[in-house]
Amino acid sequence: MKDVRTRFAPSPTGLLHIGGVRTALFEILMAHRHGGQALLRIDDTDRERLVPGAIKSLIEDLRWVGLHFDEGPSDEEIAKADSAPTPGTGIGGPMAPYVQSLRAARYVAVSEDLIRTGFAYRCDCTPERLQQEREEQTARKEMVGYSGYCRERNVSAAAPHVVRFKIPANRPIVLADAVKGEVRWEKIILRDPVLLKSDKFPTYHLATVVDDHDFRISHVLRADEWLSTAPLHLLLFEALGWEAPVFAHLPPVLGTDGKKLSKRHGATFLSSFREAGYLPEAILNFMALIGWSAGEGEENEIFSLQDLTRRFSLERVNNAGGVFSYEKLKWMNGVYIRGLQPSDLAARLRPFLVAAGLDVQDEKLARIVPHIQPRLELLPDAVPLIDFLFRDAIERDMPSMLKKGMEAPKAREICGQIANSLAALETFDTASIEAALRRVAEESGVAGGPVFTVARIAITGKKVTPPLFESIFALGKGQSVLRLRETAELLATQ
């Protein structure tokens, strides 16, 4: 196989879609599997839809999810192309610039070559004339499209114009797609599409063909929705005398209803998954399995990026669409959370705890993390479990404490006994805490369960928490005793 070079070419028109993450992942896996390079190219020729800061956002999202490209726009390029750049965002590379708007002169030159060789022509048709053509075609029940009026008119280069490509009549096109196999078009339905707009900016079709050639792209992995543009792109490569890359059109990402994944199914932007508390490792693993399989007989579904790189091949990319299951992603996220080192998990939980307004103390967090780790599917799940550790004042679920024969006076007595027992402990650890509470149960003549419920609600405020003794240890002796005595005072008014 020749040198493998792939490219991910998003438009900076908004946030990164989760489907784009899969495309970027496959681009990197394909290149690195064969010792090649994966490029990040910014396709920003649609000037009307540009969003300030979108290039920065794209690169940051890709880096957060663990996708690192070998070449891409530098800080200087981003500063020129984006009205809201941030230093340190760029990548750089030997074939700069990697931003299409900075390559405008190259597209103009190629369009002139196509005109000179007879594959393209200038068109000065006004919007009014084009509208009239469409209306007349519709009235005749013909396919709507440009009539070719300017094909033989030899429009002057000095006149305001666009450049159109001459679509050959009755020309079959065959694509050897690396995923779909042979795809054949007996006739191209496009009618002389625009390659260069009147503002001298290229359309997607011209820019992507020129760039794929100039950057020596060997494999184009892109969404299935771009398949319809393949005939035009193949004709452009042919007209320019360039070898076309291998095309691989990836299966669509579908919702559970079998329709293309969209916001009606739930979150679709990568940033939304990040904010929801998904781990980047889980996202990459999950997205890899949508439309790709590790091989027959392989039952394992948990793969690191290194595993995926070693196993990836286009032959294992499915032709049919893959279903995006939010429930399965959540399950996989839980698997990855449980596989983290506690110190790593604590660091990832911290931003979510701080965002919830909690005064996080790292020693307490480190103590409790191993005991909540098995319960988490998403990082924010930790907040309601352990917020009692980081609040000065808590609300207590007193009705859950005072039931099943537990009257307020008895509960008050138990709180006082536990407070005194904990305060007297010379060694404050989970074993000593458990022994102290069990002694109180025995001395008070109340079963352990109700005694533990009183302690849990007095100290944490709620009946569902991490393990009781570990919760008390994490909170610390001083605060635990204080909360027990506060609760005893509250119970005096019940």
| Amino acid making up residue 446 | V
Q: Which one of the listed residues 2, 187, 200, 263 is annotated catalytic?
A: 263
How many Cβ atoms sit within 10 Å of the Cβ of residue 253? 26
| Amino acid making up residue 249 | H
Determine the Cα–Cα distance for residues 123 and 198; give it in Å rounded to an integer.
Answer: 10
Side by side, the strands of the sheet bearing 120-123 are 120-123, 162-165, 194-196
For the question of residue 56 being annotated catalytic, the response is no
Residue of 166, 313, 162, 165 lying closest to 248 (CA atoms)? 313
Say if residue 85 is preceded by a cis peptide, omega within 30 of 0: no
Determine the Cα–Cα distance for residues 19 and 11; give it in Å rounded to an integer.
Answer: 14
How many Cβ atoms sit within 10 Å of the Cβ of residue 198? 13
- Structure token pair of residue 461: 């405020």
- Structure token pair of residue 228: 């319809």
Determine the Cα–Cα distance for residues 189 and 209; give it in Å rounded to an integer.
Answer: 20
- Structure token pair of residue 491: 């119970």
The β-bridge relationship of strands 173-177 and 37-40 is unpaired
- Structure token pair of residue 11: 């438009």
CA dihedral 341, 342, 343, 347 (to 10 degrees): 100
Runs of H (alpha helix) within 117-269? 127-139, 204-214, 230-240
Helix or strand (DSSP H, E) at 174 = strand 173-177
Asked if 42 contacts 100 with a C-beta cutoff of 8 angstroms, the reply is: yes
The β-bridge relationship of strands 246-250 and 219-223 is parallel
Q: How far is CA 188 from CA 147, 151, 231, 233, in A?
A: 14, 18, 7, 12
| β-sheet bridge partners, residue 181 | 177
The β-bridge relationship of strands 194-196 and 162-165 is antiparallel
Query: What residues are labeled active site?
Result: 263
